[in-house]
Amino acid sequence: MNSRKRALVFVTVAAFGLAGCTSFQDQPKTAGGSLVGAALGGWAGSKIGSGNGRLAATAAGALLGAFVGGSVGESLDRADRAHLARTTQATLESYPVGSTARWQNPDSGNWGTVTPTRTWQQPTGQYCREYQQSVTVGGRVEQAYGTACRMPDGSWQVANQSARY
């Protein structure tokens, strides 16, 4: 078997082996990201060097790709962000200070909360609110704090936020 075929077999085995470390049923985006990342990283690594160096580069690429791909797959997807944005807008518009709204994406299982913590009016007449958010992704909770101000069209525009998801 030539070195190119060996590298391809290695990448394939490594990708499936690394993806097996994460359950597709429990964390489909993380596992899928790991699998795709390992395959792409292994492919990129196989293009570097020759002989034994190519095999080592393929292995390193597959491992790095699996790690990066899993991290990306674990983050919020577009639907999660849409749930978060809708809930944040509605909460800032109508929830009193200290009341908490909750959102959940039934497809990903990710969820979070939004709580207004302070409201004031700028000298220009514009209303602003401070708020707290929590987002739970794969059982890990991330906290954020921010300020948003109400725009003339009625939407709330984030002026600053301590974390991005």
The predicted-structure confidence for 76-89, as pLDDT tens digits, reads as follows 789 999 999 999 99
pLDDT for res 61: 54
pTM listed for this prediction: 0.55
pLDDT: which is higher, 132 or 20: 132
pLDDT for res 79: 93
For the chain, the domains span 3-74, 78-161
pLDDT: which is higher, 139 or 104: 104
Say how far apart CA 78 and CA 108 lie, in whole Å: 11
Say how far apart CA 115 and CA 123 lie, in whole Å: 24
Q: How many helices (DSSP H) and strands (DSSP E) are in the chain?
A: 4, 5
The predicted-structure confidence for 94-127, as pLDDT tens digits, reads as follows 999 999 999 999 999 999 999 999 999 999 999 9
One-letter amino acid identity for 117? Answer: T
pLDDT for res 138: 87
Give all strands of the β-sheet with 111-121 in edge-to-edge order.
101-104, 111-121, 127-137, 140-150, 156-161
Q: Which tokens sit at 48?
A: 């570097």
Residue showing tokens 């700028």:
122
Q: For the purposes of burial, counting CB atoms within 10 Å of the CB of 4, is it exposed (0-12), middle (13-18) or buried (19 or more)?
A: exposed
pLDDT for res 22: 44
Say how far apart CA 34 and CA 48 lie, in whole Å: 21
pLDDT for res 17: 46
The predicted-structure confidence for 46-61, as pLDDT tens digits, reads as follows 556 556 555 655 555 5
